[in-house]
Structure 1
Amino acid sequence: MTSPMTVTPPAAGFIGPVKRSVTIAGHATSISLEPVFWHVLEAAAARRALPLNALIAQIDALRIVAEDPPNLASALRSWILSDIQAITSDTHSQQG
């Protein structure tokens, strides 16, 4: 019999959204995301050798053409999760 997995809080604790201003296609907009999402977005931009605004603009362009576009913050969170899953999947397939 296996024991249930323990659920623990994030190492940095639970922190609410932080609002930042970004420029997309020459227009300033503010986005509220939790700090952990900002950190992951910054790392994703660095891996792609892009400024953070450029990565957000690319994600926004994909969001806009979606059949039922969510708000930008939701699109960013969804994209982050998808990106992490792709990285994890790639890592597992290279190890196997």
Structure 2
Amino acid sequence: MAGGPVKRSVTIAGHPTSVSLEPVFWAGLERAASELELPLSALVARIDAERIEAANPPNLASAIRVWLFERVIAPNATK
């Protein structure tokens, strides 16, 4: 799963948006979408909606990485 960023297009609010993520993050995002029973684009739209509410919003790729970290890695850090 190693490798440089891979650019993919997702639709957010009816507009195609390009996002570049490393394959491991795409895999994690796809898994999370499946677990939440959402299409990938719907999950990305949710993350984007949370992102734009921030006082100083990060770019979308960073927001996705942080979301995945908070969902998967951070809860397991205390175990």
TM over 0.5: yes
Match of 1:80 among 57, 68, 72: 68
Shift of residue 39 of structure 1?
A: 0.1
Shift of residue 23 of structure 1?
A: 0.2
Shift of residue 55 of structure 1?
A: 0.3
Q: After superposition, where does 1:35-54 map in structure 2 within 5 Å?
A: 35-54=23-42
Identity percentage over the alignment? Answer: 60
Unaligned runs of 5+ in 2: none
Which structure's relative contact order is higher, taking Cα pairs within 8 Å and 6+ residues apart? 2
Match of 2:51 among 63, 74, 82: 63
Shift of residue 43 of structure 1?
A: 0.4
Q: After superposition, where does 1:9-48 map in structure 2 within 5 Å?
A: 12=1, 14-48=2-36
**In terms of Rg, which structure is larger?**
1
Spell out structure 1 runs of 4+ moving beyond 4 A: none
Q: Which amino acid aligns with 2:41?
A: N
CA distance in structure 1 between the partners assigned to 2:59 and 2:37 by the alignment: 25
